[in-house]
Amino acid sequence: MGKIKLKEKIKHVKNELHELAGLLESELKEFDNIMEENMENGYPEKDSRDPAYLTPWMQEKVKQMIERYNLENSPKKAIITCTFRNPEYQKKLYRKGRLGDKIIFPRMVVTGCDGYKKVSNHNVIPAQAVDTAIILNGKCLWDLEYFLSLGEIGERLGLVWGHRFKVSNNKTDYPHFEQPKGVV
């Protein structure tokens, strides 16, 4: 490579790095604003399992769903694993299976929301989404078959079940439930 082409390449890389630094600075400012708002409103810095961080509508529906499931499916139990999720943690989940925004390992992808450009219903205040798990004899059961009954109960109560939409590579999010659009 000649000196001129090398100088052009170096200049191009410097410009790209400068552009990336600007994007990172912008994302960090946005994150700081979100975290400041969260702290002012008494929301946690980290993700939470506490139903108090859900909208009142979600609190009631999720409570009914879990109570009904646990009554009908004993000894299995449904539990809440996440209500509110801060943008930083959301970004960590988004990075699973990716290099930047490019999907490298599709089976490892957890979410299509990065917490900044595309916000999850877990990231809003109050949260409009909940993740669940099914427990039997102290162990989490993650296969779809264990969530079918919970999903049916949740849908009958008006919740949107994550099994009905794609996260990536035809993968669904069956432990996830959210508040329908337009419900206050």
CA distance 129 to 58: 8
pLDDT score at 149: 96
d(CA 62, CA 82): 12
Q: For residue 136, give both structure tokens.
A: 């039997």
What is the model's pTM?
0.73
Question: What is the mean pLDDT of the segment spanning 45-71?
Answer: 92
Q: Range with the lowest mean pLDDT among 4-18, 78-92, 124-138, 153-167? A: 4-18
Q: How far apart are CA 40 and CA 93, in angstroms?
A: 25
pLDDT in tens, 85-141: 888 888 888 888 888 888 888 878 888 888 888 888 888 889 999 999 999 998 999
